[in-house]
Chain A
Amino acid sequence: MKVILTSQGDSLDAAMDARFGRAAKFLLWDSSTQAVSVVDNQQSMDAPQGAGIQAAMTAIKQGANAVITSHCGPKAFRVLQEAGVKVYLTKAAKCREALQLFQDGKLQEASSANVEGHWT
């Protein structure tokens, strides 16, 4: 499966970006190869509105089955849910830590957005 983590940097050692829609970077982790690639989220960063919707579409286009982040707004959640992408929320500071929690089955799937739109 493919998992997206919201990150402030280019590797699993980077800090998590707490925001989904306006996350600096997406790290795409592939469970079959254990490979990590960096996905640009600049388009959403620059969007005057609808960053969450844009970011959700980016995640879907990458073929992600799940998203791991700290905060997900209502519109992004709706799009991800509609496309069958699961959302996992974590307070982990580092991406590697978050991924480990996920692999250990310690992250619970979110059933709704956990912040309002325009959360910063």
Chain B
Amino acid sequence: MKVAVASGKGGTGKTTVSLALAAAAETPCLLLDCDVEEPNCHLFTSAEPWRTEGVDVLVPEFLGEGCDGCGSCVRSCRFNALAGFGRKVMVFAEMCHACGGCVLACPHGALREIPYPIGRLEFRHAEGFELITGVMNVGYAMAPPLIRQLKTHLPTSGLAVLDCPPGTSCSMVTSVRDCDFVVLVTEPTPFGLHDLRLAVETLAELKLPCGVIVNRAEPGVPLIHDYCQEAGLPILLEIPLSRQIAETCSAGGGLLDACPDLKEPLQALLAQTLPGLLAGRSVAS
């Protein structure tokens, strides 16, 4: 089962929940940190990487020979990664979306593809689970190719948790795509609710089942509950607003260090609730 942990709004507790799920799991668990622009799962483990793998994309290189200045390559690029004048083409690799279109468009074989490094994957044996972190190079802006490379390490069976990037743009979509279930972590604030709605709408487009974890939950603040009831979304868990949790996490500890009582509900979530919701869904559909 592949469980994505996403949110819409940033800072709601995706990493806290992802780490707690991975730590609570009763079966071997692989945690992928898909928030490649700002990965932070590794900050909560003392393990150093036992392996690092570079990630490249293929970008064009101008060979010069054969170019007759027809401009086909420049016109084929909707991202303006190529500039051409006379019989010369300049490549701006950092703008390139690595589609390979320009190389196909050139009728003269004057371009070829070469690797361009965009980041790396770090593999760690964390306490109780395996962690693979995607780290994007500073100055590079396109996360999806790196996230796709990270996801090639997903096992075909067994449990995997994916700590996703915030928001609902390409990097979030790339992360949640093909997962079995999406856990949306939110907080009971108007901002939290607003972005939760956006995330739910995005997942509806992707036809992915989801449920909600309310973090920093306070008694008498029903706005997330009201919305979930209206939208027919299950509330999977509530994590209370607690200074103790905040202090523990700030010191590098995990949610379960602060609240050992949450271990059982998280185990039940992975072993019963989610498989039950998925089974019910397949019956319903």
Q: Residues of A at under 8 Å CB distance from B?
A: 47-51, 53-54, 56-57, 60-61, 75, 78-79, 82-83
**CB-based contact B92/A53 at 8 Å:** yes
For the residues of B in contact with A, the DSSP-based class is mixed
**CB-based contact A51/B90 at 8 Å:** no
**CB-based contact A57/B95 at 8 Å:** no
Report if B108 contacts A (CB, 8 A). Answer: no
Contacts of B92 in A (CB 8 A): 50, 53, 75
For the residues of A in contact with B, the DSSP-based class is helix
**CB-based contact A79/B83 at 8 Å:** yes
Contacts of B84 in A (CB 8 A): 57
**Complex alpha-carbon distance, A48 and B80, angstroms:** 9
Q: How far is the CB of B170 from chain A (nearest CB, A)?
A: 13
Query: Which of B81, B83, B88 gathers the greatest number of chain A CB atoms within 10 Å?
Result: B83
Q: What are 22 of the A-B contact pairs (CB < 8 Å)?
A: A49-B95, A50-B80, A50-B92, A50-B95, A51-B80, A53-B80, A53-B83, A53-B92, A53-B95, A56-B83, A57-B74, A57-B83, A60-B85, A61-B85, A75-B95, A78-B90, A79-B83, A79-B85, A82-B83, A82-B85, A82-B90, A83-B85
- A-B interface, 8 closest residue pairs, ranked by CB to CB distance from nearest: A50-B80, A79-B83, A60-B85, A53-B80, A53-B83, A83-B85, A54-B80, A50-B95
Report if B191 contacts A (CB, 8 A). Answer: no
Q: How far is the CB of A112 from chain B (nearest CB, A)?
A: 17
**CB-based contact A50/B81 at 8 Å:** yes
**Complex alpha-carbon distance, A53 and B83, angstroms:** 6
Q: How far is the CB of A58 from chain B (nearest CB, A)?
A: 11
**CB-based contact A47/B88 at 8 Å:** no
Q: List 16 extra interface pairs beyond A49-B95, A57-B74, CB under 8 A.
A: A47-B80, A50-B81, A50-B92, A51-B80, A53-B80, A53-B92, A54-B80, A57-B84, A57-B85, A61-B85, A78-B90, A79-B83, A79-B90, A82-B85, A82-B88, A83-B85
